[in-house]
Amino acid sequence: MTLVDLLKNVGRQSIESVGGDNIESGDGPSDDEFRESEQIGNGHRPDHPRGGKLGGISDQNGKREIMREEDEKRWNDECLFDCDQILEDFAPRNRIPFGFMWCLYRFVLSRIRHNRSVPEALYPTHEPQSGRSAERAIFTRHVLFTRMASVKNPPIEISASVLGTMLSSAAAEMSQCPTETGTNLSRHSESMASGLETRIHCEMTKSDQRTASLRALRLCLAMAFLLASGHGVCQTIYTPAPENLKARQEFQDAKFGMFIHWGVYSVLGDGEWVFHERKLTLDEYNRLPSFFDPEKFDAKAWIALAKAAGMKYITITSRHHDGFAMFDSKVSDWNIVQRTPYKRDPLKMLAEECHRQGIKLFFYYSQLDWHNPDYYPRGITNWDNGRLNRGDWNRYLDDYMDGQLRELLTNYGEVGGIWFDGMWDKPDADWHLEKTYALIHKLQPAALIIPNHHQSPKPGEDVQTFERDLPGQNSAGFNTSYVSAQLPLESSDTINDSWGFNIGDSKYKSPSELVSRLVRSAGNNANLLLNIGPMPNGEIQEEFVARLRSVGQWLSKYGESIYGTRGGPLPPGDWGVTTRKENKIYVHVLNWAAPLLALPPVQTRITRAVFLSNGSSIEFTQSANGLILKVPPSTGDEPDRIILLTCREAN
Ligand code: JFZ
């Protein structure tokens, strides 16, 4: 059962237990309620440790709209700290100020209004950089929210078992992160679920209590109404089609894909951001397509190279931030067929070749556009390139972008999915995601939506992707630390340091480094999407070709330990990772010099351990304390020593 289901149940129970007649509307508090709540809220707001009162929660306009979208970031930024502070101050005494819970309720409700599912509403959008504090914030919200729901004084009772299950489901979600916080939450939820005498009492005066009881009753009813009737929530609950779920499995099995950044920018040999980096004007950039004539482009050779590398899918830029469509688009003439001497549609040729050679095809699509004037108001990458300072945002999204997506999902046969990028340019904008995602899933239900927005997944998204990073590590600094336990995961990376062709970048990763990244991705339950930036003449530079072929050779020997596996059962470490499939565990020793490797316990009985490269037996000891393997000495030139463990049962 998901948290959403549980909350729905809570909603239903509440309605049944008190009758539905007090429900005013699902639109939140009345003006009176709002004023009262402000008083209660203010009265109980603790001092902000950096001065002033707890911030980010009052509605300056006095409007009933609970929280404006632009306030949300401020709320996140300011209140994450406060949440922690409040928990630390009050939780040990088991008291949370009602004003704070009320504010939290408003926060959650406003996020539901902004079309987020309930669990999504509990997660911060703008997470702090450090993984620990992000997790703490999520944890805090889970706990506070469930506490709010369990306020004793208002005559709404949540049964012990429902609250217990809610907490354990929250704990289960959290315990997917192998961190201290995850463990803390599990422990916390256990004690709460078992005892449940632990009730939250609001510290209020008698009269406050009466008002608050009334309020909480109304609030809970409004919440219950919202949840039970599905108002504002229903459309956000996305149920993937069976073919989509199947495609997710296949995606996870595929493990290795080819990312391709190719566009008119490739002509300048300076990466795909050259338009922005050199602050070119529209007039200047408009000259570029006339130099793009990839006479050596050979779709068959590209796909054959992906296959030789052991890659199972490709994700190619159908258009990047320059907005230039690398396909035959009727939506505007800013495209390869109409603006370049090449005049042909390479995506069409690639699609045909992919279908012929059994490779899945995904389209990268930039929602950010530096060329179209309707991309307005502009985002953080704005510069004066000569565009008009007005434009029609809705037209950009609904006609231009959705129009092109419709073309991509209609004219190219079966498409694996759409890899979105650029939302980070306008993080607070309304991107009409629900509409766009619904369009994609309607046109091709199996197509996976993979957004590179660096946030927790939103309803309608099918894969969580991490740019230049392993899930949850956020070593790049801009990814989210939240890792979905449900969605397939993907990590993208470059062979040198560039995405688009960069003539001055010779920082190539070695073949072993690339193998090791692939293995670490698999061990972290993620795919690796490895990038190439083909040259403007359509050729792929030799440095990329050689490296891809050598990864392919490695995979042709050791592919069984990668393809079709899932990460684990043991947590990844600096020493290496594990992957699993049926009753097999592959121990990938990537960085371990000593002869013995001691690992945490494996749940099932290991019957056999062999060195995958030559089938020789490996000595091992399995006990309740853990597993000790005698690792064959390194020959120095292998990126990964793989030990295959056969187990009595599947892991
Ligand atoms: C994005 C693109 O901008 C880039 O060109 C490439 O396509 C890559 C795969 O995806 O990269 C980003 C996007 C945003 C940030 C960093 C890299 N960011 O917000 O810090």
Q: Is the pLDDT of residue 575 over 70?
A: yes
Q: For residue 467, how far is its CA from the centre of ligand 1 (angstroms)? A: 8
Q: For residue 595, how far is its CA from the centre of ligand 1 (angstroms)? A: 42
Does residue 467 line the site of ligand 1, with CB under 6 A? yes
| Nearest CA owner, ligand 1 atom 18 | 478
Does residue 499 line the site of ligand 1, with CB under 6 A? yes
Does residue 400 line the site of ligand 1, with CB under 6 A? no
Q: Is the pLDDT of residue 112 over 90?
A: no
Cβ distance 370 to 321 under 8 Å? Answer: yes
pLDDT at 143: 54
Closest alpha carbon to 461 in 622, 173, 248: 248
Query: Which residue has better confidence, 222 or 370?
Result: 370
Contacts of 81 (CB under 8 A, 6+ apart): 49, 50
Query: Which residue has better confidence, 594 or 474?
Result: 594
Look at residue 360 and give its three-state secondary structure: strand
Worst-scoring range by mean pLDDT, 96-100, 300-304, 604-608?
96-100
Closest alpha carbon to 602 in 576, 629, 641, 575: 629
Pocket test for ligand 1, best of 424, 479, 480 (most atoms within 8 A of CB): 424
pLDDT at 53: 30
Closest alpha carbon to 364 in 319, 402, 324: 319
Pocket test for ligand 1, best of 265, 419, 467 (most atoms within 8 A of CB): 467
Placement of tokens 């609001």 in the chain = 202
Q: Which atom of ligand 1 is nearest to the CA of 468?
A: 9
Cβ distance 478 to 134 under 8 Å? Answer: no
Worst-scoring range by mean pLDDT, 214-228, 328-342, 406-420?
214-228
Q: Is the pLDDT of residue 228 over 60?
A: no
Q: Is the pLDDT of residue 7 over 60?
A: no
Closest alpha carbon to 532 in 521, 545, 519, 520: 545
Return the CA Rg of the chain. 27
**Interior/surface letters 292-329, b for 16+ CB within 10 angstroms, e for the rest:** bbbeebebeebbebbebbbbbbbbbbbbbbbbbbbbbb
Between helix 3-18 and helix 160-175 the angle, nearest 10°, is 160
Does residue 135 line the site of ligand 1, with CB under 6 A? no
Q: Is the pLDDT of residue 504 over 90?
A: yes
Query: Which residue has better confidence, 131 or 225?
Result: 131
pLDDT at 629: 98
Backbone angles phi, psi at 516, to 5 degrees: -65, -35
pTM exceeding 0.85 = no
Q: For residue 552, how far is its CA from the centre of ligand 1 (angstroms)? A: 27
Q: Which atom of ligand 1 is nearest to the CA of 320?
A: 7
What's the whole-number average pLDDT of the chain? 75
Q: Which atom of ligand 1 is nearest to the CA of 531?
A: 9
Q: Which residues pair with 576 in a beta bridge?
A: 573, 589
Does residue 424 line the site of ligand 1, with CB under 6 A? yes
> What does the alpha-carbon distance between residue 37 and residue 611 come to, in Å, rounded to a whole number?
66
| Nearest CA owner, ligand 1 atom 7 | 499
Residue 133's Cβ-side half-sphere holds a number of Cα atoms within 13 Å equal to 14
Worst-scoring range by mean pLDDT, 10-14, 283-287, 327-331?
10-14
pLDDT band at 26 (very low <50, low <70, confident <90, very high): very low
Q: For residue 519, how far is its CA from the centre of ligand 1 (angstroms)? A: 23
**Interior/surface letters 532-542, b for 16+ CB within 10 angstroms, e for the rest:** bbbbbebbbbe
Query: Which residue has better confidence, 285 or 48?
Result: 285
pLDDT at 146: 53
Q: Is the pLDDT of residue 188 over 60?
A: no
**CA of residue 437 relative to chain centroid, distance:** 15
Worst-scoring range by mean pLDDT, 100-114, 191-205, 240-254, 631-645?
191-205
State the average pLDDT over residues 381-401.
Answer: 97
Q: Which atom of ligand 1 is nearest to the CA of 272?
A: 5
| Nearest CA owner, ligand 1 atom 15 | 478
CA distances from 122 to 157, 181, 531 (A): 22, 16, 34
| Nearest CA owner, ligand 1 atom 3 | 422
Q: For residue 288, how far is its CA from the centre of ligand 1 (angstroms)? A: 22
Q: For residue 551, how far is its CA from the centre of ligand 1 (angstroms)? A: 25
> What does the alpha-carbon distance between residue 161 and residue 6 come to, in Å, rounded to a whole number?
11
Worst-scoring range by mean pLDDT, 135-149, 471-485, 618-632?
135-149
Worst-scoring range by mean pLDDT, 254-268, 462-476, 540-554, 581-595?
462-476
pLDDT at 584: 98
pLDDT band at 48 (very low <50, low <70, confident <90, very high): very low
**CA of residue 491 relative to chain centroid, distance:** 11
Q: For residue 421, how far is its CA from the centre of ligand 1 (angstroms)? A: 7
Q: For residue 370, how far is its CA from the centre of ligand 1 (angstroms)? A: 14
Cβ distance 415 to 447 under 8 Å? Answer: yes
pLDDT at 477: 78
Worst-scoring range by mean pLDDT, 176-185, 328-337, 426-435?
176-185
Worst-scoring range by mean pLDDT, 152-156, 315-319, 385-389?
152-156
Does residue 208 line the site of ligand 1, with CB under 6 A? no
Contacts of 110 (CB under 8 A, 6+ apart): 65, 66, 67, 72
CA angle 541, 546, 548 (to 5 degrees): 95
Structure tokens at 114: 């902004």
Structure tokens at 598: 């001691």
Cβ distance 294 to 346 under 8 Å? Answer: yes
CA distances from 464 to 1, 126, 381, 590, 615 (A): 21, 16, 24, 25, 36
Pseudo-torsion of CA 301, 305, 498, 402, nearest 10°? Answer: 70
Q: Is the pLDDT of residue 321 over 50?
A: yes
Q: Which residues pair with 611 in a beta bridge?
A: 643
pLDDT band at 478 (very low <50, low <70, confident <90, very high): confident
pLDDT at 140: 52
Pocket test for ligand 1, best of 258, 259, 421 (most atoms within 8 A of CB): 421
| Nearest CA owner, ligand 1 atom 1 | 421
Worst-scoring range by mean pLDDT, 83-87, 244-248, 287-291, 645-649?
83-87
Structure tokens at 605: 């009985």
Strand 360-366 and strand 417-421: the pairing is parallel
Domain annotation for the chain: domains and CATH numbers = 3-232 (no CATH), 242-566 (3.20.20.80), 568-647 (2.60.40.1180)
Q: Is the pLDDT of residue 307 over 90?
A: yes
pLDDT band at 475 (very low <50, low <70, confident <90, very high): confident
Question: pLDDT tens digit string along 230-278?
Answer: 333 333 578 999 999 999 999 999 999 999 999 999 999 999 999 999 9
pLDDT band at 463 (very low <50, low <70, confident <90, very high): very high
